């Protein structure tokens, strides 16, 4: 089916292990899991503004509802991101939550994307957010890059850079250029955010074109501003100092960005993994302060692999409380697809560690006993239950990605031993039956350590 990612088992295992890395690091940083229903009330989902997603909503209707005559939007719709459900969740459970509320969520979302290579209508989103009550310290803005660094370091997919900017700084700069209307500022921000995709010449031509009608002088000043990048921590601070002063928004943005960058270093993120990039704006209007985009240094064509930012009031449409937050999101399905296309991920071995081969039908109870012993030791084991030639059993294990095959034939039984075949190393060894589980645990631990799993 177009627009969905359907994987073979070993691909699915690799994808699941990527999700496990993300989940493991979210929990290491003290974030709590939640899940929300795949369906939300349409009136809840359609209150979000500032993006293209509302035009890609899938509505849900029962066969009973189809029989009713009437116009209007169906009552239910599939969620198109995890942010709107989070806002509804926090508003509904506000009095039961401890603030700041630190949550992670890893679930499928749905968008009516045009069917094309690498774009998905159903995909996993992995979100992390910190929600405050009334106020939320900038320190949380600096903590999220530390989490991003841990996740992508453990995924081991190559060097990456967390690019940081501040929307207040951007808006303050635009005010200095005579662009004071909030709507027009947002439109310019969204255009600037396309710099890496469209290139500077195309963005410049759009800014001076009929849609924006900026003077060449103002457009050039914007282009010069957004091209600024830092190459080190010291350079980032010097760059902020060199920007000087301006409007209240401009000065506040500089101060916030300086504080976040200083704290990112205090959180232990190496300076090679973060920088200031003044073109990063993020396309959604609800971002109000710090914004992030993470890219792979050697594969810029992949684009952002993790993005997010600060927003003033998460649940403003659902609650009278002021609930500021900061969050990041990883589009896990698209990221996995892109990494495989770039050759940065390979299929995983099977989640089955050991196949107990069928040597003789009459010895099946013994093979089942061996498997029970291995499973009790925490070793995932499968027993070959059909009589097949040994060569075909080996072929099956190899194709399924099972590394170890245990052979317990007449000769081994006479010696109180079994033979273990390691299909990856094309080697075999004999071990006493009562030492099999302990020996395989050592072999598996060594294999996983070597593979970095």
Considering the domain architecture, whether residues 331 and 269 belong to the same structural domain is answered as: yes
160 three-class SS: strand
Domain boundary among 341, 372, 401: 341
Domain boundary among 315, 341, 367: 341
- Tell me if 54 is assigned to some domain: no
Identify the bridge partners of residue 59 per DSSP, sorted by sequence position: 77
**pLDDT greater at residue 129 or residue 210:** 129
User: What is the reported pLDDT for 247?
Assistant: 93
Considering the domain architecture, whether residues 330 and 430 belong to the same structural domain is answered as: no
Q: How far is CA 150 from the centre of its chain?
A: 12
Q: Reduced to 3 DSSP states, what percent helix, strand and coil does the chain have, rounded to the nearest 5?
A: 45, 20, 35
pLDDT in tens, 128-185: 999 999 999 999 999 999 999 999 999 999 999 999 999 999 999 999 998 888 888 8
User: What is the reported pLDDT for 50?
Assistant: 43
Q: What is the rounded average pLDDT of the residues 74-83?
A: 90
Residue that is written with structure tokens 């003789």 in the block: 360
Q: What is the rounded average pLDDT of the residues 357-376?
A: 95
pLDDT in tens, 283-326: 667 789 999 999 999 998 888 999 999 998 888 888 889 999 99
DSSP code of residue 92: H
Q: Above 80 in pLDDT, residue 405?
A: yes
With b meaning 16 or more CB within 10 Å and e meaning fewer, what string describes 168-183? bbbbbbbbbbebeeee
DSSP code of residue 25: H
Q: What is the rounded average pLDDT of the residues 419-445?
A: 94
Considering the domain architecture, whether residues 373 and 336 belong to the same structural domain is answered as: no
pTM of the model: 0.89
Considering the domain architecture, whether residues 97 and 181 belong to the same structural domain is answered as: yes
Considering the domain architecture, whether residues 387 and 266 belong to the same structural domain is answered as: no
User: What is the reported pLDDT for 68?
Assistant: 63
Considering the domain architecture, whether residues 313 and 366 belong to the same structural domain is answered as: no
| E strand or H helix that includes residue 390 | helix 390-400
Q: What pLDDT band is residue 118 in, cutting at 50, 70 and 90?
A: confident
State phi, psi for 388 to the nearest 5 degrees. -135, 160
Q: Mean pLDDT over all residues of the chain?
A: 91
Query: By mean pLDDT, which of 74-78, 249-253, 431-435 is the weakest?
Result: 74-78
With b meaning 16 or more CB within 10 Å and e meaning fewer, what string describes 59-78? ebeeeeeeeeeeeeeeebbb
**pLDDT greater at residue 184 or residue 116:** 184
Q: How many domains does the chain have?
A: 2
Q: Above 60 in pLDDT, residue 333?
A: yes
Q: At what angle do helices 332-341 and 9-28 cross, to 10 degrees?
A: 120
Q: Above 80 in pLDDT, residue 54?
A: no
Tokens of 327: 């969050």
Q: What is the CATH number of the domain that holds 318?
A: 3.30.930.10
Q: What is the CATH number of the domain that holds 439?
A: 3.40.50.800
- Tell me if 48 is assigned to some domain: no
Q: Of 204-218, 379-393, 437-451, which has the strongest mean pLDDT? A: 379-393
Considering the domain architecture, whether residues 276 and 248 belong to the same structural domain is answered as: yes
- Tell me if 51 is assigned to some domain: no
Considering the domain architecture, whether residues 315 and 358 belong to the same structural domain is answered as: no
The per-residue DSSP string of 177-206 comes to: TT---HHHHHHHHHHHTTHHHH-HHHHHHH
User: What is the reported pLDDT for 185?
Assistant: 85
Q: Above 80 in pLDDT, residue 342?
A: yes
151 three-class SS: helix
**pLDDT greater at residue 189 or residue 12:** 12
- Give CA–CA dist 363/381, Å, rounded: 17
User: What is the reported pLDDT for 282?
Assistant: 76
* Long-range contacts, stretch 398-402, CB < 8 angstroms, 24+ apart: 398/423, 400/9, 400/10, 400/350, 400/352, 400/355, 401/10, 401/13, 401/347, 401/348, 401/349, 401/350, 401/352, 402/349, 402/350, 402/352, 402/353, 402/354, 402/355
pLDDT in tens, 10-22: 999 999 999 999 9
Strands 76-78 and 59-60: antiparallel
Domain boundary among 341, 364, 398: 341
User: What is the reported pLDDT for 360?
Assistant: 92
* Strands (E) located in 297-436: 306-311, 325-331, 354-356, 381-383, 404-407, 417-422, 427-432
Considering the domain architecture, whether residues 359 and 418 belong to the same structural domain is answered as: yes
- Tell me if 49 is assigned to some domain: no
Considering the domain architecture, whether residues 359 and 235 belong to the same structural domain is answered as: no
In degrees, rounded to 5, the angle at the alpha carbon of residue 116 between the alpha carbons of residues 115 and 118 is 120
User: What is the reported pLDDT for 314?
Assistant: 82
Query: By mean pLDDT, which of 46-55, 182-191, 268-277 is the weakest?
Result: 46-55
Considering the domain architecture, whether residues 221 and 246 belong to the same structural domain is answered as: yes
- Tell me if 195 is assigned to some domain: yes
CA distances from 368 to 12, 163, 173, 375, 428 (A): 27, 54, 72, 10, 21
- Give CA–CA dist 279/132, Å, rounded: 28
Q: What pLDDT band is residue 451 in, cutting at 50, 70 and 90?
A: low
- Tell me if 247 is assigned to some domain: yes
Query: By mean pLDDT, which of 143-157, 191-205, 213-227, 293-307 is the weakest?
Result: 191-205
Q: What pLDDT band is residue 187 in, cutting at 50, 70 and 90?
A: confident
Identify the bridge partners of residue 126 per DSSP, sorted by sequence position: 106, 330
- Tell me if 43 is assigned to some domain: no
Considering the domain architecture, whether residues 336 and 234 belong to the same structural domain is answered as: yes
User: What is the reported pLDDT for 52?
Assistant: 57
**pLDDT greater at residue 96 or residue 347:** 96
In contact, 104 and 148? CB cutoff 8 Å: no
In contact, 356 and 381? CB cutoff 8 Å: yes
By residue range, what is the domain housing residue 315? 9-31+80-341
CA distances from 31 to 129, 140, 149 (A): 8, 12, 16
- Tell me if 446 is assigned to some domain: yes
């Amino acid at each position: 089916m177009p627009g969905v990612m359907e994987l073979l088992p070993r691909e699915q295992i690799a994808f699941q292990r990527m999700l496990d890395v993300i989940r493991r690091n979210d929990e290491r940083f003290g974030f709590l899991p939640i899940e929300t229903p795949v369906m939300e009330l349409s009136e809840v989902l359609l209150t979000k503004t500032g993006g293209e997603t509302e035009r890609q909503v899938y509505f849900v209707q029962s066969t009973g509802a189809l029989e009713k005559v009437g116009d209007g939007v169906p009552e239910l719709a599939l969620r198109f991101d995890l942010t709107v459900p989070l806002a509804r969740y926090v508003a509904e459970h506000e009095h039961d939550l401890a603030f700041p509320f630190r949550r992670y969520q890893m679930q499928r979302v749905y968008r009516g994307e045009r069917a094309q290579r690498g774009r998905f209508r159903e995909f996993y989103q992995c979100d992390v957010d910190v929600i405050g009550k009334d106020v939320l310290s900038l320190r949380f803005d600096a903590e999220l890059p530390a989490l991003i660094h841990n996740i992508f370091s453990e995924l081991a997919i190559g060097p990456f850079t967390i690019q940081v900017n501040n929307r207040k700084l951007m808006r303050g700069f635009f005010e200095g250029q005579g662009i004071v209307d909030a709507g027009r500022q947002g439109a310019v921000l969204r255009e600037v955010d396309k710099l890496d995709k469209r290139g500077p010449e195309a963005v410049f031509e759009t800014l001076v074109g009929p849609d924006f009608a900026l003077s060449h002088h103002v457009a050039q000043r914007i282009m010069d501003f957004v091209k600024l990048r830092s190459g080190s921590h010291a350079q980032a601070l010097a760059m902020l100092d060199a920007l000087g002063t301006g409007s209240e928004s401009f000065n506040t943005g500089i101060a916030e960005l300086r504080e976040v960058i200083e704290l990112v270093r205090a959180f232990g993120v190496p300076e090679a993994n973060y920088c200031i990039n003044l073109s990063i704006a993020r396309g959604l209007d609800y971002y109000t302060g710090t914004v992030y985009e993470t890219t792979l240094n050697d594969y810029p064509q992949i684009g952002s692999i993790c993005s997010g930012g600060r927003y003033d009031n998460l649940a403003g449409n659902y609650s009278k409380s002021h609930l500021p937050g900061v969050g990041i999101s990883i589009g896990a399905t698209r990221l996995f697809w892109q990494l495989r296309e770039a050759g940065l991920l390979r299929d995983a071995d099977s989640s089955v560690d050991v196949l107990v081969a069928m040597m003789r039908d009459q010895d099946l109870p013994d093979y089942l006993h061996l498997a029970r012993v291995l499973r009790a030791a925490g070793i995932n084991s499968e027993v070959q239950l059909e009589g097949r030639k040994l060569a075909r059993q080996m072929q099956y294990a190899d194709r399924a990605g099972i590394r170890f095959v245990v052979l317990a034939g007449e000769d081994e039984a006479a010696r109180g031993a079994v033979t273990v075949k390691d299909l990856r190393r094309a080697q075999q060894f004999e071990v006493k039956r009562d030492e099999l589980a302990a020996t395989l645990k050592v072999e598996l631990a060594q294999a996983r350590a070597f593979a970095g799993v």
